[in-house]
Amino acid sequence: MATMRERVEAALGTYVGDTVADTCVRGTALSLGKSADDLTEADLPALESSIRRLLGPIAPSSVIDDLLTKIQKGF
């Protein structure tokens, strides 16, 4: 089963590229006092908040909503 990190990076990478996606996930994990590999379902609200803040200026909210839905469903 894909880890939370892999799910988020796969979804984000489509839009912002793998490198930036990786940076986003690691940054969010760091703000939670975790490593990216330790992210779990429980961290979804924090990830969602982080993704909305980062992507909000560069993508319409409908795209971000769709992306978050895919992450929650594991695609």
> Interface residues with another protein (CB under 8 A)?
1-2, 6-7, 10, 13-21, 23-24, 53-54, 56-63, 65-66, 74-75
Closest contact distance (angstroms) between CB of 43 and another protein is 18
CB 47 within 8 Å of CB 8: yes
CA distance 60 to 48: 15
In terms of CB distance, is 13 or 44 closer to another protein?
Answer: 13
Position 31, amino acid = S
Closest contact distance (angstroms) between CB of 36 and another protein is 14
